[in-house]
Structure 1
Amino acid sequence: MTNTREQDFVFTDTDFRRVVGLIYARAGIRLNDSKQSMVYSRLARRLRVLDLERFSDYLNSLEADPKSGEWQHFTNALTTNLTFFFREKHHFEMLTEQLQHLHGPVRIWCSASSTGEEPYSLAMTAVEAYGKLKPDVEIIASDLDTQVLNKAKNGIYSMDKLDKVSQERCKMFFLKGRGENTGQAKIRRELREMIEFKQINLLASSWPLTPYFDAIFCRNVMIYFDQPTQRVMLEKMGRLLKSDGLLYVGHSENLHHMSEWFHSCGKTVYRLTDKAIKEWGAHR
């Protein structure tokens, strides 16, 4: 993509290639050529804030200071956060079955929590599975993007975000806003208290997490990483699972290349193999 009159900022093919390299090095995210327009529109907001005219100037400033706070804005801008409550509902049905065979404390990690719809769906599932508002369940919800994490912590959503949530769940788990908050709904305090939000970069050498988890949700994340990166990340996740724990991945993802460590036990749901349990020392 070369600069055109319709564009406010100079954005060349070289700039795009630099962005591709920087976001891959920073977050392991792969961007193909079809993402050029997306990159322009999202990063152009930062150029406006910083009063810059050229993408090259913006990228030069990033590379000049690896510790700059602007890196977080850069990463946030290029992180995709498509999500909604009870997305891929078969996973929540399977989680319900899993929970009904477990006796607390139960630990779940949602590794790409985005704006919170997924971890709150996990919390609702736990409440329903155990039949009480305060089940013995701990949910860690993490994301790289600090902006979406802040939104998730607040637990406030516009009513259109609840379109796919049943009326029964809306009444039980959400508080409708009034007055100036009309058109919004807030997650009940009991659900928010079940969840601890953390910023975690899945590419980091270590994660601030304590083993072991009964379930790890890593859905629609691996599609952004190349296979070698996937292997490293999945092995680390496997080492955090209990021996009878489950790993839930996205509908378009599979772990065929990880068959030594994981085997399928349902639609995009995996268990550790005997070899993984033996070599990684997974605990119950």
Structure 2
Amino acid sequence: MGHVETSAKAATEAKNRLSDETYMRIASIINKHSGIKLPPAKRLMVEGRLRKRAQICGHNSLDDYCSYLFENGGLDDEFVHLVDAITTNKTDFFREPDHFTLLRNSLLQSLIGLRRSGARAKLKIWSAASSNGAEAYTIAMVMAEEMARHGNMEFSILGTDISSAMVTAARRAIYPTEMITPVSEELQEKYIMRARIPERQGQVRIVPELRRRVRFELLNLMNESYAYDRDVDVIFLRNVLIYFDKPTQEAVTCRMMEHLRPGGYLFLGHSESMIGTNLRLHQVAPAVFQKV
């Protein structure tokens, strides 16, 4: 009896794993669409995320879900959800906090001088892989504090991401309470609303005053051009290039540079800092570059 149970369990587990052929097929689809590499080391992550998607769709196993995608014509309808499931990456408030300190203490006043028109300058900032919006709203908190302190600037923030699910989440601006732990108590008091109704306990939301200054749009960085302003003051392109091969890294970064005004700043992730050294940029800090 025990042997039968063991065999049944093994068969169930096998149906919830991706074959080599299917994994390579999915990896190829994602790479072609988004530029993101899915080496064998990512296989367990992909399987875990697709199992959750399979359950949502009512499939009994990952094997059934893949049959639906590739044998029963489901890929067209499911494609956007497949991309959402695999390309969603972790983000936090005040991730790599020294970047925000540098922006606040050193860079903003020089940008205001470049941008000044009349009494107040309006700065444009782009979070180019915005995920659930935590980075964009972090920037908004920093900018709002500086605007209140100096009164000589306005700002607007654009957040873009390939995942429609993440763009929707960013627009809602609702987060688990534990996620705002990196935000200081002072900033939480000003910019975070806490749920008052029982069913929303454990959740917080960004205040409307900040949400009005940030807009989120869908964007695939693999597109040949980006339909956004070409006089952006600061671009945050952090912790996304590491998922691309070298030619794609260079192509995406060069396209981004077309949208950065002279004197503007490009922020990369710390693990991506060497990418910027290949461009005609002036490095001002670790993983921070100025367009000259």
Q: Which residue of 2 aligns with 1:112?
A: 129
Counterpart residue number, 1:171:
189
Q: In 1, distance between residues paired with 2:17 and 2:240?
A: 31
Q: How far apart in 2 are the matches of 1:192 and 1:169?
A: 15
2:157 corresponds to 1:148:
no
Distance of 2:42 and 2:278 partners within structure 1 = 31
2:18 is the alignment partner of 1:18: no
User: Is the contact made by 2:163 and 2:218 (CA closer than 8 Å) also made in structure 1?
Assistant: yes
By how many angstroms is 1:158 displaced?
1.7
The letter for the 2-side match of 1:119 is A
Asked if structure 1 preserves the Cα contact closer than 8 Å seen for 2:88 and 2:166, the reply is no
Q: Given that residues 233 and 260 in structure 2 are in contact (C-alpha distance below 8 angstroms), is that contact kept between their aligned partners in structure 1? A: yes
Structure 2 gaps, min length 5: 1-9
Taking every aligned residue pair, what percent have the same amino acid on both sides?
A: 31
| 1:191-232 C-alpha deviation (Å, 9 max, x unpaired) | 000001100000012212121100000000100000101111
Q: Larger Rg: 1 or 2?
A: 2
Aligned partner of 2:52 in structure 1 is 45
> 1 CA distance for matches of 2:29 and 2:277?
28
Contiguous gaps of at least 5 residues in structure 1: 274-284
Separation in 2, partners of 1:61, 1:264: 51
1:79 aligns with 2:96: no
1:236 paired residue among 255, 258, 262 = 255
Q: Displacement, 1:111?
A: 0.4
TM-score by length of 2: 0.85
Residue of structure 2 equivalent to 1:35: 42
CA RMSD of the aligned region, Å? 2.3
Q: Is the 8 A contact 1:255 1:262 kept in 2?
A: no
Greater helix share, 1 or 2? 2
What pairs with 1:1-284 in structure 2 (closer than 5 Å)? 5-9=12-16, 11-48=18-55, 49=57, 51=59, 53-54=63-64, 56-60=66-70, 68-96=76-104, 97-101=106-110, 102=112, 103=116, 104-131=121-148, 136-180=154-198, 181-256=200-275, 259-273=278-292
Secondary structure of the residue aligned to 2:234 is: strand
Verify the 8 A CA contact 2:267 2:287 in the aligned structure 1.
yes
Q: CA deviation at 1:257?
A: 6.8
Secondary structure, counterpart of 1:169 in structure 2:
helix
Name the counterpart of 1:282.
Answer: none
Contact 1:119 1:141 in 2 (8 A): yes
**Judging changes above 3 Å, is the alpha-carbon distance between structure 1 residues 168 and 237 closer, same or farther for their aligned structure 2 residues?**
same
Aligned residues: 269
